[in-house]
Chain A
Amino acid sequence: MNKLTYIGIGIFALLLVFFVPKYINGNATAPGDSNLSSDIEKIEVYHFHGNHQCYSCKTVGSYAEETVNTYFADELDSGKIVFGHINGELSENIGLVKKYGATGSSLWIGVYYRDGGFAKEENVNVWYKIDNKEDYMNYLKGVIESKLSGA
């Protein structure tokens, strides 16, 4: 091994020593964006995207829409659940993009509480399920159901 390799290994070891304690403490950090109220007023399921959509991005959105339409038709009719494909590049959607903090193509679930609280969460797990529609829909159904129950 040459000098450069040793320097590289040395830097990596130093970084490990510095960061590993942070990894251990970081695990204990509780998520800050939560609301304890279980009184749900409304849930928004938004698929954010840009003008150019990749195959996976379209799939994430269309499966989410199908999930909501299939399993939550009553909630959609009553307005308890709102679903939307949001093009983040359109000026009329800038407010929503900022509110959710979407960084690109993504699926977000926003929960409005009767006490005026609001909690948002990006779901990244759906990206791993696009090769199995049934798995995707069952998973997202479970997530939305747990939000509806105030969990």
Chain B
Amino acid sequence: MSLMSFMEVMSTSSFPLIAAFFIGLMTALSPCPLATNITAIAYISKKIGDGKKTLWAGIAYTLGRMLTYVLLASLIVYIGVNVQAISLFLQKYGERILGPLLIFIGLIMLNIIKLPSLKSGDRITKLKEKLSEKGYLGAFLLGVIFALAFCPFSAVLFFGMLIPLALKFSDGILVPSIFALATGLPVIIFAFILTFSVSKLGKVMNKVQTFEKYIRYAIAITFLIVGVYYTWRIWI
């Protein structure tokens, strides 16, 4: 049995959570989510010196994807928003916004664009700063935004396969959650590998930390490359 035949059998499984998981895996390997996941891996690797933080950042990224998919599925399943309208809208605008947004983030990371600093004072701002410092909030938001970027093939998988499944079982929560988990799995696995390799190579990683500035540049350049790729694909 070929890999694709196996994926077909599993994705059409009569148990919806298994089907959702394998549709998610197919999505993770399709071009757009693959590119966004590579960018996410670059982002969560910025705390490469601290393995546990890297793993949690990977989980936060997947939770971000989960929030988007659950919201979209719930809007369709529970509120009855027209699936066709929401799908065509996201395919039209999601990809168009993603490219320039990635370039924008890349330029911020390179300090070419400077954002005004927030006044720290109230508890929410302090919490935000704490989360940002650990990279969790950034990873979470990245997941939320990246999940909105539907390319033609990932739209087929989500709107053509997953949503009918969610509608059939009136489940706008668990089915899209398992799907999201599978789409973020490459990032979690990579973060997991990083966590263990970092703890074993602690001394080497201490040296790596001294190159943190260069790591940040490398991440920013990854954002720029992926951003230019999307912009070129859609706009040019």
Contacts and interface: CB of A to CB of B under 8 A. Distances in A.
Contacts of B88: 88, 103-104
B91 interface: yes
A93 interface: no
A123 B12 CA distance: 12
Nearest to A100: B84
A19 B171 contact: yes
A53 B152 contact: yes
A106 B160 contact: yes
B170 A22 contact: yes
Contact of A23 (B16, B83, B87, B233): B16
A29 B168 contact: yes
Nearest to B15: A23
A127 interface: yes
Interface in B12-70: 12, 14-17, 30-31
A89 B12 CA distance: 29
Interface in B71-128: 83-84, 87-88, 91-92, 95
A128 interface: yes
A97 B84 contact: yes
Contact of A104 (B155, B170, B177, B233): B155
A131 B234 CA distance: 25
Contacts of B153: 54, 56-57, 105, 127
Contacts of B234: 52
B151 interface: yes
Interface in A3-58: 15-16, 19, 22-23, 26-27, 29, 49-50, 52-54, 56-57
A16 B174 contact: yes
Interface residue SS majority, chain B: helix
A22 to B, nearest CB: 5
Contacts of A52: 95, 152, 233-234
A128 B4 CA distance: 6
A124 B17 CA distance: 18
Given A128-B11, A129-B4, A104 B160 contact: yes
Contact of A27 (B11, B14, B156): B14
B4 A104 contact: no
23 contacts: A19-B171, A23-B17, A23-B169, A26-B170, A50-B152, A53-B152, A54-B153, A56-B153, A56-B156, A88-B88, A103-B88, A104-B87, A104-B150, A104-B156, A106-B160, A124-B156, A124-B161, A125-B12, A127-B153, A128-B5, A129-B4, A129-B8, A131-B4
Given A98-B84, A124-B160, A131-B2, 9 more contacts: A16-B174, A23-B171, A56-B153, A88-B88, A103-B155, A104-B88, A105-B152, A106-B156, A131-B4
Pairs of residues from A and B, 8 with the lowest C-beta to C-beta distance, nearest first: A128-B8, A103-B87, A103-B159, A26-B169, A104-B155, A105-B152, A54-B152, A54-B153
